Structure 1
């Protein structure tokens, strides 16, 4: 059984949680201990540690998630109703591929049960195994990475952490529909990688663009199936990670906002945090990132896919060559744009699809500007 790959929490963590007040978060979470395993049928969110970093040669220390769990369970929950379980850890297998297989199996089973896994690693190449868990679900996948790099290295690169996306793009079955990077920094990426992102019609949002208006990223997360967070995208002054010094990156408030956007997405079914440097200071921030993700999950409006068009206002914007159709939710004031004549890659049938967008996209359309994400989505479906 897939859950046999999961190892219980250590006695140290269990004892720490038991020493906390009944008001702390630890008392609200069902734990995988040596004597008990959570009832999966009663779980909505599942926290899983993955003690694997061999995919990144720069990671020389073993993965230790103890400080993260102690900090997280010492926090106080919001007015949450979601059932949360900590399923323990997937330990490093004999080979890196063994760890990938275990993670793929566990995540795939949870997603089929409509449980949202929250993965804490480990190196970021674990994203590859998370993506492969969708192989049996027969759906296209939108992957969003909060990262300063594209990770589009050569396919045969020794470091999977620097090239996992290349493997995702090239390997069959190819379930990837769109890839978006939020917070990339140009000087950390080769020009040929930036050009490739454009040729593949993927989305890249520079750090400065997001930091100056963080709301620009919300539609991207609303359209995501998987979100992965590379902790090296956070500036060291906020993360406390001075082992890998990062002078420029997201600050603590910004990264927590992005985590909340991820949790808010009705579509998102998998979230991952990677490249923890085992420091207590960074563990404090990770605990708050987890908190904000769950806060977002609790605030989901469940308005997509649309259940009734009566809950939305339809706006039609005529352009010279196109007619764009927008929908605005009466519940959350969020916007979608209709992408017509989508060709399903499996059935070859045509249908309309709704792409999350912003109010600014609507205003731009009024001024005869076609939204860039709409155009890229159209191009991917025509090819």
Structure 2
């Protein structure tokens, strides 16, 4: 049913695939070659390339993806048994809204069939139709963007683009956005109005310096996300020159891979996207190679999922409970530690009914958050619970 939406994987990539051995990633990927389209009933993860850049503020040309595919296919498989299909390249619509419609339709159908969509683009405004695809499935969506900017306000843009798409999501009348999280922002690239709006709406952010000091800080945020969008421009130019907005400062390549692995491990993340690839700037294929490795680490994380999120059936059985009273208050924090993985969650509630949405009531945290709360230095994201209680 999707074949009309896609152009098949190029012949040179298909020929390259034929040279691979059974231990390499590409050997085991089911590609759309122009003949029969992959059967989504036999797929765990769908790779969707979207060469759409009309929503970019710098009006960049569409990128080529053959170098990426060859690099990715050439990697050796990890210790996983994942059924992966490469759908090819999404055809550009007559206008940007047509592409949005097609991507929305595809993501909606994949989610309804429990197939994980992994999107490679293209400008980051493509997150907008991905987010819209969730509206018919859930009442609340947590969106996490790894990005050097907040993408809330573009003073020069009248229409939706890669610099203001988050603002468009927030302004929707039937808004299903429960939380927005930014990882890796750089203050000199963000407007004060954007920072104030994030704080006013109780959204979360973690600056680049904090991530570089301790990349493990990203894990609880990723554990709470439904959609993860990674702007490749958040990686420093020396490591990823082929991006739409290269910058001398940013995440390092290995940090990008760590974040991707955490996203893959998260039981809650149900779609993952990498955006702002600019192949014309990637003259040595360094960025294409890095994208391949980022996706490889995502697959490794995905293969390690063990459904560790608290639920009504497991919260009293599989978790150790720690009560921390809040000074000068009748309230208390309840920390939960998984007996299976050692991962931590926190809530301000002790009693839950059967209708409780645990994903919004019990939020992921770290062991360091627990220690800081004991000492009275309540982390900002945990203090947020008191504001919403």
Taking structure 2 as the reference length, the TM-score comes to 0.92
Between the aligned partners of 2:351 and 2:109, the Cα distance in structure 1 is 29
Q: Which residue of 2 aligns with 1:240?
A: 241
Between the aligned partners of 2:348 and 2:105, the Cα distance in structure 1 is 34
Q: 1:354 aligns with which of 329, 349, 362?
A: 362
Matched, 1:304 2:305: no
Q: Which residue of 1 aligns with 2:340?
A: 331
Matched, 1:373 2:381: yes
Of 94-103 and 81-90, the range deviating more from structure 2:
81-90
Deviations 1:274-328 (A, max 9, x none): 0111122210000000000111101112111434232211111122312111110
Between the aligned partners of 1:48 and 1:98, the Cα distance in structure 2 is 16
Q: 1:317 aligns with which of 303, 324, 328?
A: 324
Between the aligned partners of 2:97 and 2:243, the Cα distance in structure 1 is 30
- Equivalent runs, 1:117-196 vs 2, <5 Å: 117-154=117-154, 157-158=158-159, 160-196=161-197
Q: Secondary structure at the match of 2:349?
A: strand
Q: Is the 8 A contact 1:157 1:163 kept in 2?
A: no
Q: Secondary structure at the match of 1:35?
A: coil
Q: Is the 8 A contact 1:256 1:292 kept in 2?
A: yes
Between the aligned partners of 2:321 and 2:339, the Cα distance in structure 1 is 11
Q: Is the 8 A contact 2:332 2:348 kept in 1?
A: no
Q: Which residue of 1 aligns with 2:58?
A: 58
Q: Secondary structure at the match of 1:136?
A: coil
Between the aligned partners of 1:313 and 1:207, the Cα distance in structure 2 is 33
Taking structure 1 as the reference length, the TM-score comes to 0.93
Q: Which residue of 2 aligns with 1:221?
A: 222
Shift, 1:146, TM fit: 0.4
Between the aligned partners of 1:109 and 1:203, the Cα distance in structure 2 is 30
Q: Secondary structure at the match of 1:76?
A: coil
Structure 2 CA distance for partners of 1:69 and 1:342, relative to 1, 3 Å: farther
Q: Which residue of 1 aligns with 2:257?
A: 256
Q: Secondary structure at the match of 1:193?
A: helix
Q: Which residue of 2 aligns with 1:31?
A: 31
Q: Secondary structure at the match of 2:128?
A: helix
Q: Is the 8 A contact 1:336 1:356 kept in 2?
A: yes
List runs of 5+ in structure 1 lacking aligned partners: 344-348
Of 131-140 and 117-126, the range deviating more from structure 2:
131-140
Aligned residues between the structures:
377
User: RMSD across aligned C-alpha pairs, in angstroms?
Assistant: 2.2
Shift, 1:342, TM fit: 12
Q: Which residue of 2 aligns with 1:289?
A: 294
Between the aligned partners of 1:235 and 1:193, the Cα distance in structure 2 is 22
- Equivalent runs, 1:71-86 vs 2, <5 Å: 71-86=71-86
Q: Is the 8 A contact 1:201 1:377 kept in 2?
A: no
Between the aligned partners of 1:46 and 1:314, the Cα distance in structure 2 is 38
Shift, 1:159, TM fit: 5.7
Shift, 1:265, TM fit: 0.3
Q: Is the 8 A contact 2:152 2:194 kept in 1?
A: yes
Q: Secondary structure at the match of 2:238?
A: helix
Deviations 1:325-368 (A, max 9, x none): 1110111111000243999xxxxx87662100011111122123
Shift, 1:375, TM fit: 2.9
Q: Which residue of 1 aligns with 2:202?
A: 201
Structure 2 CA distance for partners of 1:131 and 1:243, relative to 1, 3 Å: closer
Q: Which residue of 2 aligns with 1:346?
A: none
